[in-house]
Amino acid sequence: MTLPASLKAPGFVLRPYWWDAAEPPQRENTLPARSAVAIVGGGYAGLSAALTLRRLGHEVTVLDAERIGWGASSRNGGAVSGGLKLAKGDLAKRHGEARANAILETAAASFPFIEELISREQIDCDYVRCGRFSPAWTPAHYDGMAARAGRLAELTGHPVHMVPRERQREALGSDHYFGGMIAEGAGSLHPGKYARGLAEAAERAGALLIDGVRVSGIRKQGGGFHLTTSKGEITADAVLVATNGYSRGPNGGSAGGAMPWLAKRLMPIASYIIATEPLPEGMIDRLFPHRRVISDSRRVLNYFRASPDGTRVVWGGRASFRDATAEEAAPALHKTMVAVFPELKDTRITHAWNGNVAFTFDFLPHIGVQDGIHYSAGCQGSGVAMASWMGHNAALKLAGAANKDFALDSLHFPTMPLYDGTPWFLPIVGGWYRFRDRLDRMRA
């Protein structure tokens, strides 16, 4: 299905709305023969790592197959929060009570980290600590949130309030949900500007950022590493791979990617977004009182917000589990948006795009070292703060400068027998989740 002409605004484009203000620029730098540290992947994780390594005095080169910031980091929804989607109970069962608490605290620490980073580096990215409203898809979800609210407040150090259904319009201009939860420890930013600003901060600190260099192999050589790339060879004393949802090789499997071992542990999943045309004056304030970021409690979630300039709705979700194009996914996103905001029925779309997030088989992000190669990956679609934080911590580890335990470091990193980086089972699992969402709602 493609978007009907009546829903396409004049000038409709298939590219991120964020790129209108901050398209990842082309850099003219050439590949050096060696670098003390080579970082593969120039998203938030790679760039944050580069910045930290430079601050510690290490020579760093960041290599990206496309442009620096081209991946999920300039395509996402721009909702900023710490925390994991995983329930504490599941974590405790697998890792024990103490490690589970340490993991949750470590994840929550990503939020103050990114706030401090943006402010210290003076990154101009429209950051606002606006809070997040999580509307409940069913009354049971509301009760679950209410039960978790106290722990969330404790972990984040910021207030968390429940908003019952009868007061929902104070938080969201919709009657579609069963109330929800406001977490004040969350914010919003312009993802493209943040990617650009982080890259500029890393460059100012002395990192070399190189575009258009695809790494197709990393092998040990003497005490260091030899990287084969599309633009020739480079040697490095240490390597960090931060390729996340784009870790596969050119033929769709793990072969030919920078680090096949990592690709075999990641499920790249497409997430889709549309941006509407500018709305009539006053409408955004009615739809998004306090301009909070929103992500609902469905298994196949919707996330949405006002654009930073307060003129349009930016609406995202997993509209397809079958590798659909952004244009094919756009009608489903529009339909869900109208179910929540019926007054947007005739509102046209100016931009539609997609990007890859990386899920792991244990639903946890991971940093660690395999065969001497450092990696950072797997933010489960919630990585604006987390990928920045993981990259920083991977850099501290690589430099031997970590002075305390990082709870997501060197955990067992599971894969599945015969899995080669392409989650062929996704349409089945995604379909099942959608069915469960519908069923829960029918019973609500």
Ligand X SMILES: Cc1cc2nc3c(=O)[nH]c(=O)nc-3n(C[C@H](O)[C@H](O)[C@H](O)COP(=O)(O)OP(=O)(O)OC[C@H]3O[C@@H](n4cnc5c(N)ncnc54)[C@H](O)[C@@H]3O)c2cc1C
Beta strands 373-377; 232-241: pairing state: parallel
Min. distance of Cβ 67 from ligand X in angstroms?
A: 8
Angle at the Cα of 353 (from 322 to 265), degrees rounded to 5?
50
Taking residues 361 to 390 in sequence order and writing x for each that binds ligand X by CB under 6 A, - otherwise, the string is: ------------------x-xxxx--x---
Residue nearer to ligand X on the CB measure, 43 or 179: 43
Pick one of 66, 121, 200, 237: the residue that binds ligand X (CB under 6 A). 66
Taking residues 222 to 261 in sequence order and writing x for each that binds ligand X by CB under 6 A, - otherwise, the string is: --------------------xxxxxx---------xx---
φ, ψ (nearest 5 deg) of residue 218: -135, 120
Residue nearer to ligand X on the CB measure, 132 or 141: 132
Footprint (CB under 6 A) of ligand X, residues 299-318: 303, 316
Residue nearer to ligand X on the CB measure, 143 or 420: 420
Beta strands in 309-432 (DSSP E): 313-317, 349-360, 366-370, 373-377
What's the CA gap between 317 and 353, in Å, rounded?
Answer: 11
Answer for the pair 44, 76: CB distance below 8 angstroms, yes or no.
no
Q: How many residues bind ligand X (CB under 6 A)?
A: 43
Residue nearer to ligand X on the CB measure, 77 or 421: 77
- Closest-approach residue to ligand X (CB): 383
Reported as type and span, the H/E element at residue 326 is helix 326-340
Total residues found in the chain within this entry = 444
What's the CA gap between 343 and 323, in Å, rounded?
Answer: 30
Answer for the pair 317, 331: CB distance below 8 angstroms, yes or no.
no
What's the CA gap between 243 and 238, in Å, rounded?
Answer: 16
Residue nearer to ligand X on the CB measure, 12 or 70: 70
Taking residues 24 to 63 in sequence order and writing x for each that binds ligand X by CB under 6 A, - otherwise, the string is: ----------------xxxxxxx----------------x
What's the CA gap between 262 and 407, in Å, rounded?
Answer: 19
Taking residues 72 to 91 in sequence order and writing x for each that binds ligand X by CB under 6 A, - otherwise, the string is: xx-xxxxx------------
Residue nearer to ligand X on the CB measure, 163 or 379: 379
Place of tokens 């070292």: 369
Positions touching ligand X (CB under 6 A) are 40-46, 63-66, 70-73, 75-79, 214-215, 242-247, 257-258, 271, 273, 303, 316, 355-357, 379, 381-384, 387
